[in-house]
């Protein structure tokens, strides 16, 4: 039987998607060739890329609004660099909200390219919360935030209203909840948290913000070049793009983000409720900033760890260990994780308390 997979990333994918993907590796499109041994310029693969890009814009409700969707490589970590490369002129100012490890890494790269200011940080409270009282300076070129903190289990519930270019790293919660995505000018996400296998990164960018810095941009880092070449400037990650396309189609068939958000809320409510009512456990993140995707918690009594680990492993649960930097437990409940898996975890926690 399939395990209950709470892995933080690479993540669980729908079983139907894995099946289709496995078939396509052997025989794609009934052409008696594998998906991964045909030209990325062949008609069937170009159709896959186009479908993936259009499903992204459709699901985010960003069609015909001046956005382009790109499937790039280098992970979300490459976007930490590409964002300032493409958006920050030499006399500009990049502003960042620091909500954890990933934001901090993005800040580090921006500093290589120019004036970078951290306008608020929750570092002092161990990144248990999201800063709320801050203003984006008038001279900011862009504002960058991380919508969901995968490691600490916090999530931004609202975003600042600003006329500045707004960039968001949505690696671990894209397609999980309804938002007005048009409030962002650039969204990026590594595929492997909530969309597909590792190896491709989604970038959704409003084309009108590009080409405004005088900087010479290396071709592979230039969003305008990737956009002009329809995300095929070089050989794209054909398999990850294909599986992402299947997952996006799966989500659309389910009823889109609106439908999956309800399931995600139900899963999170079930688990947080158990954490709050079970005397053995406590949540890590501040209640008001709790993530629907990555639920972080600890055992109050660490000496029970070995026993608890044995209990959830025996129940067929995988991937519950917290990030190595903070320890404890982390239940990642991405779109494809069924409610039943959360019920299994909650039952283990309840029985453990008895």
Q: Which of the residues 193, 250, 289, 312 is marked catalytic?
A: 193
Q: In the complex, what is the shortest distance from the CB of residue 77 to ligand PLP, in angstroms, rounded to a whole number? A: 3
Name the residue nearer to ligand PLP (CB basis): 75 or 316. 75
Name the residue nearer to ligand PLP (CB basis): 21 or 72. 72
Active site residue 250: no
Q: In the complex, what is the shortest distance from the CB of residue 60 to ligand PLP, in angstroms, rounded to a whole number? A: 17
Q: Which of the residues 102, 128, 206, 250 is marked catalytic?
A: 102
Q: SS3 sequence, the chain?
A: CCCEECCCCCCCCCHHHHHHHHHHHHCCCCCCCCHHHCCCCCHHHHHHHHHHHHHHHHHCCCCCCCEEEEEECCHHHHHHHHHHHHHCCCCCCEEEEECCHHHHHHHHHHHHHCCEEEEEECHHHCCCCCCCCCCCCCCCCEEEEECEECCCCEECCCCCCCCCEEEEECCCCCCCCCCCHHHCCEEEEECCCCCCCCCCEEEEEEHHHCCCCCCCCCHHHCHHHHHHCCCCCCCCCHHHHHHHHHHHHHHHHHCHHHHHHHHHHHHHHHHHHHHHHCCCEEECCCHHHECCCEEEEEECCHHHHHHHHHHHHHCCEECCECCCCCCCEEEECCCCCCHHHHHHHHHHHHHHHC
Active site residue 123: no
Give contact residues for ligand PLP (rule: CB under 6 A).
9, 75-77, 102, 146, 150, 169, 171-172, 190, 193
Active site residue 102: yes
Name the residue nearer to ligand PLP (CB basis): 316 or 327. 327
Name the residue nearer to ligand PLP (CB basis): 172 or 213. 172
Name the residue nearer to ligand PLP (CB basis): 68 or 291. 291
Q: In the complex, what is the shortest distance from the CB of residue 17 to ligand PLP, in angstroms, rounded to a whole number? A: 19
Q: Which of the residues 98, 128, 169, 312 is marked catalytic?
A: 169
Q: In the complex, what is the shortest distance from the CB of residue 52 to ligand PLP, in angstroms, rounded to a whole number? A: 17
Q: In the complex, what is the shortest distance from the CB of residue 172 to ligand PLP, in angstroms, rounded to a whole number? A: 4
Q: Indicate which residues carry an active-site annotation.
A: 102, 169, 193
């Amino acid at each position: 039987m399939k395990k209950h997979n709470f892995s933080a990333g690479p993540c669980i994918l729908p079983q139907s998607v894995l099946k289709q993907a496995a078939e396509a590796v052997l025989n794609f499109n009934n052409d008696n060739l594998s998906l991964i041994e045909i030209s990325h310029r062949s008609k069937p693969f170009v159709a896959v890329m186009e479908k993936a890009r259009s499903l992204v814009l459709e699901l985010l409700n960003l069609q015909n609004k001046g956005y382009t969707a790109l499937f790039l490589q280098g992970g979300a970590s490459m976007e930490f660099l590409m964002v300032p490369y493409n958006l920050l002129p030499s006399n500009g100012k990049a502003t960042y909200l620091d909500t954890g490890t990933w934001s901090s890494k993005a800040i580090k790269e921006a500093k290589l390219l120019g004036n970078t200011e951290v306008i608020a940080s929750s570092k002092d409270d161990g990144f248990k919360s999201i800063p709320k009282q801050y203003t984006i300076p008038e001279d900011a070129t862009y504002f960058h935030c991380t919508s969901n903190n995968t490691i600490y289990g916090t999530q931004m519930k609202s975003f600042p209203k600003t006329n500045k270019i707004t960039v968001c790293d949505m690696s671990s919660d894209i397609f999980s909840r309804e938002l007005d995505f048009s409030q962002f000018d650039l969204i990026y996400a590594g595929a492997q948290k909530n969309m597909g296998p590792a190896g491709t990164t989604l970038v959704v960018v409003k084309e009108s913000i590009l080409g405004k810095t005088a900087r010479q941009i290396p071709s592979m880092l230039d969003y305008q070049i990737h956009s002009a070449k329809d995300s095929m400037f070089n050989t794209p990650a054909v398999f990850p793009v294909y599986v992402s396309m299947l997952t996006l189609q799966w989500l659309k068939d389910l009823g889109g983000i609106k439908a999956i958000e309800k399931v995600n809320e139900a899963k999170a409510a079930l688990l947080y409720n158990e954490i709050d009512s079970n005397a053995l456990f406590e949540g890590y993140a501040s209640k008001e900033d709790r993530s629907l995707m990555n639920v972080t918690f600890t055992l109050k009594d660490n000496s029970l760890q070995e026993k608890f680990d044995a209990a959830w492993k025996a129940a067929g649960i995988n991937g519950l260990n917290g990030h190595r930097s903070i320890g404890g437990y982390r239940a990642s409940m991405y779109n494809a994780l069924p409610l039943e898996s959360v019920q299994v975890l909650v039952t283990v926690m309840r029985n453990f308390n008895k």
